[in-house]
Chains A and B, each alone.
Chain A
Amino acid sequence: MKKKIVALALVLALVVSVAVGLAACNKGDGTLIFGPEDADITFGMICLHDENSTYDKNFIDAARDLAEEKQVRVIVKTGIPESAACYDAAVDLVDQGCDIIFADSFGHEDHVVRAAREFPEVQFAHATGTKAHTNGVENYHNGFASIYEGRYLAGIVAGYKLNEMIDAGDITAEQAKMGYVGAFPYAEVVSGYTSFYLGAKSVCPSVTMEVRYTSSWYDEAAEKSTAEALIEDGCVLISQHADSMGAPTACEEAGVPNVTYNLATGTQCPKTYLVGSRINWTPYYAYLVDCLRNGTEIADDWTGTFATDSVKVLEFGAGVSDEAKAAVEAAEAALKAGTLKVFDCSKFTVDGEHLTTYMADVNTDDAFTPDTEAIETKDGVTYFAESEFRSAPYFDVRIDGITEINEA
């Protein structure tokens, strides 16, 4: 009996020490309500996943900055699926006194619009959405950034890395094949990977790319195995448009350079992290808050650019040469000046031909009818005018040099 009591006491002591240990290593700043309690504006946020997702973390970090910068109250709801739960979350935020509610995932759009129709006195904004400029709901707005420019710059770094490999004799010029883990085969992803590819191609002309989809925004296992499949298929550099650490982890394990999106993974993947790009959401949030405070109208559709500080190239990894860094700087200056266009039609072909005309689906309808001529010529450059007619990407052209493999 005594022995049993001693054993029990020991077990209890162990449990308590573990519990205390766990509590001690928690930073205690994980709460998802930021900013002063008595702020004049409450900013509600609906996130598809939590901070384990690089995509959502980018939005939440920006919201933390906003609370600090603009002294607003921010309430974040995480893990809200693209279903009626999104409507319920939006309405719940209205009940909590939010003046503006922001949702972060493409599939949230219709549910946010439903809430916006019901509560005309509250403003609603949505990232990556496509309908605000045509659906006539006054208090519903879309916002996105010309992130394709950021991806183009990240692509330049990738191109330099490929050139290094070719020069070192690790691969031949023909073996310069990149892999890309995409979530879903539609404009936002296609625009992203094409701009990344064109960035790489601008310095490494022989580059090709293979794209595979996971059919999910956040599926760590699928993203990892997809990246592994690409590496198996001979891809010597990987980038991704999916939200978990799956692809970067696969790259670190295989020793394959990785270009990320949303989050610099240099600490988790020190050997293989090259660079990445992200949208800085703080300027858009700040714009929304300013509009509310000044009583000015919020644009139906807002596009962030380098000029608004919305498009960011992430910090460079250890393996990036000074030459590449300088090239990124030069290209960024040219993009800002408008002398360089990412989708310059002379730089890519479709079925062997240069594009001279393309009808893009800018105004969403049920049948997804292409409705807007997207090829423009300015200062002698003919280019695909991405993010000019609306903020969310509509470049969905499949260009030569990129192979799409869709198993799902």
Chain B
Amino acid sequence: MTNVKTDREPLFRIIKRDNIPRGKAWVIRIAAVVIAILVGALVSAILAGGSAFGAFFSGLFDGVFGTPRRILNLFQNTAILLCIALAVAPAFKMRFWNIGAEGQVLMGGLGCVVCVKYLGGKIDDNALIFVMFIMSVAFSVVWSVIPAIFKAKWRTNETLFTLMMNYVAMQLVALSIFAWVPSGSGVLGTLEHGNFPNVGGYPYIINIIIVAVMTVLMFLYFRFSKHGYELSVVGESENTAKYVGINVKKVIIRTMVLSGVLCGLAGLLLVGGTSFTLASDTVDGRGFTAILVAWLGKFSPPAMAFTSLLYVFIDQGAKNVATGVGIGDAFSEIITGIFFFLVIGCEFFINYKIKFRPRKKKEENSVEEVAA
């Protein structure tokens, strides 16, 4: 009987892993990143000739660390992405699929621009930035709390709802810009007021500091606050939450308000601290990328900081490679696609283990395995 079994045993089998040591999991993840970079180099070699293989590595690192300013840009882009990731994390931890961060950030940005347009130059710039903060948070919270109320009260599907709110926000921004700039190619010029000041001659420093502080605060919120615990209970099981007396509706709405506040902050950082302008593509898909980044970081703020940094590293580096090697714009998207494919794919190897068919002593081994 054992003979029959061994003859038909497949080349390998997939076994669920229950608890992989943390260190080993990170080794697998880092291996995935390294493989992603190697595959990226291979792809650029295929697209642009053999010499591009080496140029990919030098271009990648030069694009990120080549000058002090590029390093600053690395941290700046990481800060923005991380801020949005921090915004989506609580909702996702609660299993509330908020894919509307794109629109929520955009509304925050719109709130800022409204302030600058109607108050700019009339009040002190520091006061203006404070008003911008209030307005951007208000706009963004409205955008995040509407789907939350519908979900809490009438059990509507939050995924579709938040997704559609993105498009409404984009159209609202396009419409507002058209109202402010009736002539031209639909581009709002840079705003003269409400710009964050440079620190030590460099822009973006304030953004980075604010997001660093928010990361710590969110870490504390998740780890030590009652709210943070409640939202993870709601995520694990709504019925358990009800049983222990948690007001689920309240938690959903409260958590989405928090998401809105952070998205509004991201909008402020984008308009007041980065672009000094707004367009319907200002967020540039980061509302969605942030979800991947947050998920990869297992919704733990320090890990999310690392995954955002990694994503921005690949993206910024690949853009630089595209210039040096002379492949089109889409190149960096190909590379980040490969990165996500492999890094998300590697989670499979963290959750499952592959068992190959043993070569020798077929009978004994297979018996052992069946017993195991």
The residues of A with any CB-CB pair to B shorter than 8 Å are 1, 4, 19, 22-23, 26, 28-33, 49-52, 75-79, 81-84, 88, 91-92, 95-96, 106-107, 109-111, 113-114, 183-184, 186-188, 215, 217, 361, 368, 396
The reply to whether B185 and A107 form a contact with Cβ atoms under 8 Å apart is yes
Q: Is B337 an interface residue (CB 8 A)?
A: no
The reply to whether B324 and A368 form a contact with Cβ atoms under 8 Å apart is no
Q: Which residues of B contact A84 (CB under 8 A)?
A: 274-277
- Cα distance A1–B186 when bound, in Å? 62
Chain A's closest residue to B275 (CB) is A84
Q: What string of 1s and 0s marks CB contacts (under 8 Å) between B248-286 and chain A?
A: 000000000000000000000000001111010110100
How many A-B pairs with Cβ below 8 Å? Answer: 97
Q: B98-106, B210-218, B325-333: which lies at the A interface?
A: B325-333
- Cα distance A92–B73 when bound, in Å? 10
Q: Is B371 an interface residue (CB 8 A)?
A: no
Q: Is B292 an interface residue (CB 8 A)?
A: no
Which one of A30, A187, A217 lies within 8 Å of B48 (CB-CB)?
A: A30
Q: Which residues of A contact B277 (CB under 8 A)?
A: 83-84, 110
Q: Is B358 an interface residue (CB 8 A)?
A: no
The reply to whether A26 and B48 form a contact with Cβ atoms under 8 Å apart is yes
The reply to whether B329 and A50 form a contact with Cβ atoms under 8 Å apart is yes
Which one of A30, A76, A368 lies within 8 Å of B325 (CB-CB)?
A: A30
A4, A19, A76 interface centre (most CB from chain B within 10 Å):
A19
B274, B276, B319, B326 interface centre (most CB from chain A within 10 Å):
B326
The reply to whether A183 and B185 form a contact with Cβ atoms under 8 Å apart is yes
Q: Which residues of A contact B45 (CB under 8 A)?
A: 23
Q: Which residues of B contact A26 (CB under 8 A)?
A: 47-49
Q: A30-B325, A110-B189 are in contact. Are A83 and B279 (CB under 8 A)?
A: yes
Q: A32-B323, A77-B323, A78-B329 are in contact. Are A109 and B189 (CB under 8 A)?
A: yes
Q: Which residues of A contact B190 (CB under 8 A)?
A: 110-111, 113-114
Within 8 A of A (CB), among B19-50: 45-50
Q: 25 A-B pairs, CB-CB below 8 angstroms?
A: A19-B46, A23-B49, A31-B325, A32-B323, A32-B326, A33-B323, A75-B323, A78-B323, A78-B329, A79-B329, A83-B275, A88-B73, A92-B67, A92-B69, A95-B70, A107-B187, A110-B189, A113-B190, A114-B190, A183-B185, A184-B185, A184-B186, A186-B185, A215-B186, A396-B183
The reply to whether B319 and A368 form a contact with Cβ atoms under 8 Å apart is no
The reply to whether A49 and B69 form a contact with Cβ atoms under 8 Å apart is no
B88 to chain A, nearest CB (A): 22
Q: Which residues of A contact B73 (CB under 8 A)?
A: 88, 92
Q: What string of 1s and 0s marks CB contacts (under 8 Å) between B173-189 and chain A?
A: 00000000011111101
Which one of A51, A106, A113 lies within 8 Å of B328 (CB-CB)?
A: A51
- Cα distance A49–B69 when bound, in Å? 23
- Cα distance A96–B67 when bound, in Å? 9
Q: Is B11 an interface residue (CB 8 A)?
A: yes
A216 to chain B, nearest CB (A): 9
- Cα distance A361–B46 when bound, in Å? 51
Which one of A52, A88, A91, A184 lies within 8 Å of B184 (CB-CB)?
A: A184
A337 to chain B, nearest CB (A): 33
The reply to whether B67 and A78 form a contact with Cβ atoms under 8 Å apart is no
The reply to whether A217 and B185 form a contact with Cβ atoms under 8 Å apart is yes
Chain B's closest residue to A28 (CB) is B49
Q: Is B322 an interface residue (CB 8 A)?
A: yes
- Cα distance A215–B45 when bound, in Å? 36
- Cα distance A4–B66 when bound, in Å? 46
A188 to chain B, nearest CB (A): 8
The reply to whether A30 and B327 form a contact with Cβ atoms under 8 Å apart is yes
Among all A-B residue pairs, the 4 with the closest Cβ atoms: A30-B326, A79-B329, A107-B187, A84-B275
